[in-house]
Amino acid sequence: MAHDEFSLIRQWTRRSDGQEGDGLTVGIGDDAAVFTPTPAMEVVACCDAMVETVHFLKETMNPSDIGYKSVISNISDIAAMGGVPRYALVSIAVSPSWSAEMTSQIYDGIHEACKAYGVRLIGGDTVSAPDALQLSVTVLGEVEKGRAIRRSQAKAGQVVFVTGYVGCSAAGLHLLLQLKGTGETIPARYRQLVREHQRPSAQVNAGRILQAVRGNGALNDISDGLASELWEIAEASQAVLSIDASLIPIREDLRFYAERAGRDPLDWVFYGGEDYQLVGTADAEHVGALQEQFAAAGIPFAVIGRVDAREGQSAVACTRGGRQMPLPKAGFNHFGRPE
């Protein structure tokens, strides 16, 4: 892009949510941002990249969705630590096929996601790229000292749970790819599936409930499909997770769409991705309290298995209707390319 367009973009980044005050000493526009951490809290930091043609296509995501989702995927990582997201830094590399107008819409989405989750955009970089547009987002959050929930904390005897509904984002993407180039609109009954793909939610409230329960176990956000996330917990915790697939809640629209598409909804549940729900483990004695608190917060919470200890083993075992179901750990593969 031309230099004046870059100046425009720099202006877009300096909207009201980056204003100073409330702990932010220096906002966007200097060499770096400066903020005062909240006393007795630790800082939680994560960073995720999204690349055109690898993580999204212009045909499956509009610019504001791309911006929105790039922030959500990072807020989700903060949620998976039990933290509260506070600040975001966004680096964007824009290629010539993206107009200033489209780039402005990406920032619209970034600002929308920030606003929805109480996050302030405090910095970043805007550069040009020769080909694919890329977004790299860092989100900084806070968590009570010593209370971050790690994926290595699964212990034998705990239950395995999942929040919300999984698999919907991948089904939404499947539908978008089916419709790509046909000019057809999205049937009303599937709009929510598509929305889960384009405008996902991060489970900050769920993470905060889990963080507040003493003695809780492991936690991961589901960015790469449930199988991959379960394996990560199993390996980090050196534990065996035994899952009963029939306990995983399947949303009605997902079930319906899968049937029409001739697919098993569990394929998308286990090997889809970008659901940004949480999967974790909890002490059995806390499950009642957790169920109550999740119900009060309006967040689905389902026990889907248990943690077993087998000497020196890290694995995920899965049954379905009483039969063993192999569950390799392969993750999400957006558009059929080798990762």
Judged by CB under 8 A, the chain residues 79 through 118 that form the site for a second copy are: 80-81, 83, 87, 89-93
Nearer to a second copy, 184 or 339 (CB): 339
22 annotated among ligand-binding-site residues: no
77 annotated among ligand-binding-site residues: yes
136 annotated among ligand-binding-site residues: no
Q: Of residues 66, 72, 110, 122, which one binds a second copy by CB under 8 A?
A: 122
Name 322's Cβ contacts closer than 8 Å, sequence gap at least 6: none
Task: Give least dist CB 322 to a second copy, A.
Answer: 32
Nearer to a second copy, 21 or 338 (CB): 338
Q: Is residue 8 involved in binding a second copy (CB under 8 A)?
A: no
Q: Is residue 282 involved in binding a second copy (CB under 8 A)?
A: no
Using alpha carbons only, what angle is made at residue 280 by residues 275 and 281, rounded to the nearest 5 degrees?
Answer: 160
Nearer to a second copy, 29 or 157 (CB): 29
If you write DSSP's letter for every residue of 98-109 in order, what string do you get? S-HHHHHHHHHH
Residue type at 183? G
Nearer to a second copy, 257 or 276 (CB): 276
Q: Is residue 281 involved in binding a second copy (CB under 8 A)?
A: no
Task: Give least dist CB 159 to a second copy, A.
Answer: 20
Tokens of 81: 């630590």
Q: Of residues 61, 72, 110, 140, which one binds a second copy by CB under 8 A?
A: 140
Site for a second copy in 192-211 (CB under 8 A): none
Q: Are 175 and 259 in contact (CB under 8 A)?
A: no
Query: Which of 183, 190, 308 has the alpha carbon at shortest distance from 240?
Result: 308
Name 298's Cβ contacts closer than 8 Å, sequence gap at least 6: none
**H helix intervals, 80-99:** none
Q: Of residues 109, 124, 167, 225, which one binds a second copy by CB under 8 A?
A: 124
Name 7's Cβ contacts closer than 8 Å, sequence gap at least 6: none
Q: Which residue has the tokens 């009483």?
A: 322
Report the Cα 111 to chain-centroid distance in Å: 17
Determine the Cα–Cα distance for residues 181 and 96; give it in Å rounded to an integer.
Answer: 22
276 annotated among ligand-binding-site residues: no
CB atoms within 10 A of CB 187: 13
Site for a second copy in 155-184 (CB under 8 A): none
Nearer to a second copy, 133 or 241 (CB): 133
Determine the Cα–Cα distance for residues 339 and 335; give it in Å rounded to an integer.
Answer: 9
Task: Give least dist CB 195 to a second copy, A.
Answer: 24
Q: Are 160 and 241 in contact (CB under 8 A)?
A: yes
Number of residues counted as binding a second copy (CB under 8 A):
71
Beta bridge partners of 95: none
Nearer to a second copy, 85 or 305 (CB): 85
Site for a second copy in 34-63 (CB under 8 A): 34-37, 42-55
Task: Give least dist CB 258 to a second copy, A.
Answer: 26
Can you say which residues are annotated as belonging to the binding site for ATP?
107, 124-125, 151, 223
